[in-house]
Amino acid sequence: MTERRNIAEGYCRRSITEYLNFLNIALGSCGEFHSSYYSLYKADLLPEKSYETLDELHFKVENQLLKLIESLQKKKENGDWKDSFV
């Protein structure tokens, strides 16, 4: 999954603007994944139970990403982000 790689890369850039950008890319990748498994389900290539499991996991990941983005946007607005590893 590219989502976690985008999150890691954005964090390691240490710029909140870049981190937010990579989180939004991860969110887009999450949407792409949803589109893929939904298409498989609609083509009868993915059983309903598997679709429901994937959809539940997708919903959780998407909402966690949205909460993280919202939290970091607040940090950016408040100037609470420190660009250092210490």
pLDDT tens digits along 15-57: 889 999 999 999 999 999 999 999 999 999 999 999 999 999 9
pLDDT tens digits along 50-82: 999 999 999 999 999 999 999 999 988 888 877
Angle at 45 between CA 41 and CA 40, to 5 degrees: 40
pTM: 0.85
Q: Taking the CB of residue 26, how many other CB atoms lie within 10 A of it?
A: 25
Cα separation of 54 and 75, whole Å? 31
Count of H-run helices and E-run strands, the chain: 3, 0
pLDDT of amino acid 14: 80
